[in-house]
Amino acid sequence: MQRALAEIRLKIEGRLRNKIADDKTMLRLKPKPDADALAGHVMAVIQGMSTLARDGATTEKLLSVASAAMLAWPS
């Protein structure tokens, strides 16, 4: 089960990385961000927020974490 979930997460990260790379190619994103690093960041934030929520974090806290994470997203 753990392996299956890890494979799902890796597929999601790969799709996200490809979408970021495509958006850079289509000039929807500036060329500077590294697609692999940005996709990894998003996945790390999602996993971290999942853990926080499971541990009882409030909606307010989760929204503030999401807002902070968006600071890393290229404008």
Measure Cα distances from 23 to 9, 17, 31, 34, 60 in Å. Answer: 21, 10, 9, 12, 31
Q: How many Cβ atoms are within 10 Å of 12's Cβ, its own excluded?
A: 14
Q: What is the pLDDT of residue 33?
A: 83
* pLDDT band (50, 70, 90) for residue 72: confident
Domain ranges (residues) in the chain = 2-70
Residue 75 predicted with pLDDT over 90: no
pLDDT digits (tens, 9 = 90+) for 9-55: 999 999 999 999 999 999 898 888 899 999 999 999 999 999 999 99
